[in-house]
Structure 1
Amino acid sequence: MALFEAVLQAAGDGTHHIALSIPLGDEVRVYVIAIRLDGEDITHVDGHPPRKFFEMFQVALSGLRTSGMAMRTTRDAGDVCMAWRIRLGLLEHLSAAECFDLYCTDANDGSPVAPEYRVSYEAAPEIRL
């Protein structure tokens, strides 16, 4: 869990909506959590710890197939989006351009989607333990 805590620490204060996508068999499963971070205080926005998300995060880290994690952080100044590839137990940070492509491309048909107002698409921080 230290790796996930490092992600939150790097992201800083705010409400973090995090989506984890994992290829399992012939399909891709998506697990989502929302966490509010204020200094040392962590609150699960839906009111209970998301055990299944953390279990699947461990599966993604141990898997041989590439998974992904995207995070949208909400603050007063606007939202910030960033993302990582999960491969061979490591988080590989995506660049700002890769993050923009991730959020601004329709997953079903690959067509462009307009960026949202007051949302910045940034390079994810490098996370190493």
Structure 2
Amino acid sequence: MTRELTTQEQFDAFADEVARELGTHCRTVELIDYDGGLGRLIITGDGRALRLCQPDDRHPDSLKIHAALPDGNKMIAPSIGVTARTARHVAREITRRLYPLHTEAARQAAELAAKQEAEESDRTAFARSSGLLARILDTARPGHRRLVCSVSAAPETLVAVLRADSDPDGASQLDEAEAVEFTTILALGLASGSPGGLVIRTAAPSSPDQVYGWRLRTGDFEPLTAGEIFDAYCTNADSGDLVPPESDVDYCVPPDLGPDATPSTHRR
């Protein structure tokens, strides 16, 4: 025999019974965002929000129960249909059928949210990387320019080289494949927080080469001092021994890239 649920008062009392059957820490509250008929919200002891609804008053014993997922996810909340025989029967169906669906849906929702967050982080890092590269080229003097970016990543250090010579109009001539690889590795260092660095060497007629760079550390892009870039170029990376500095090379502080690294147009 099913319960007669034709008024909100009767429905609320039935929802209270279902909540008691589900556990001592369950409670019910008003379902304020439902206008499809009788409804009540059950909050379980472990934080689940169950929407107990009567979608069709022509069938007052047919209930629909939705288990809510976190706000902002794009998955459909799991639900089951159940007959209002007794509160114990409804609670049993929630435990037997709805809880497993909700657990799986919540797991998938968490994975989807993590994936979306990672994708957004990657997009942000790539945009920042592109902007930094554009500003570096904008502030570098014209001539022959060679950039090297390295990022420490398991199982080996990633290195990208970019040649960005400027034409007589001052625009950078970039190889598409090199530029994408360079920007991607720089973005990886920014997004992951892995240690690394970026060094640029410029050469122009009748003047010493200029060498300067930045370090990558915990996602920050910090300029190297002239002493640091000198030490990096004059130290053997394998043995740690000092090596003589090159002649006609100016180890210098990098130019100010400004507060924002906004992309600009460069020829590829």
Scaled by the length of structure 1, what TM-score is found? 0.88
Gaps of 5+ in 1: none
Say whether 1:58 aligns with 2:178.
no
Structure-to-structure mapping, 1:78-117, within 5 angstroms:
78-117=208-247
How far apart, CA to CA, are the structure 2 residues paired with 1:12 and 1:87?
Answer: 26
Q: Is the 8 A contact 1:63 1:87 kept in 2?
A: no
Say whether 1:27 aligns with 2:156.
yes
Deviates more, 1:76-85 or 1:22-31: 22-31
Q: Is the 8 A contact 2:148 2:198 kept in 1?
A: yes
Give the Å deviation of 1:87. 2.6
Give the secondary structure class of the aligned counterpart of 1:62: helix
Structure 1 stretches (4+) deviating beyond 4 angstroms?
Answer: none
Q: Which structure has more helix as a fraction of its residues?
A: 2
Give the Å deviation of 1:33. 1.0
Q: Is the 8 A contact 2:211 2:251 kept in 1?
A: yes
Q: Which structure has more strand as a fraction of its residues?
A: 1
User: Which of the pair has the greater relative contact order for Cα pairs under 8 Å at 6+ separation?
Assistant: 1
Deviates more, 1:5-14 or 1:33-42: 33-42
1:14 aligns with one of 140, 143, 156: 143
> Which position in structure 2 is the counterpart of 1:118?
248
**Aligned Cα RMSD in Å?**
1.5
How far apart, CA to CA, are the structure 1 residues paired with 2:136 and 2:211?
Answer: 13
Give the Å deviation of 1:40. 4.2
Q: From the CA coordinates, give the structure whose radius of gyration is larger.
A: 2
> Which position in structure 2 is the counterpart of 1:5?
134
Gaps of 5+ in 2: 1-129, 261-268
The number of residues matched between the two structures is 126
The percentage of aligned residue pairs carrying the same residue is 29
Q: Is the 8 A contact 2:190 2:218 kept in 1?
A: yes
Taking a change above 3 Å as real, the CA distance of residues 22 and 115 of structure 1, as seen in their structure-2 partners, is same
1:73 aligns with one of 187, 195, 202: 202
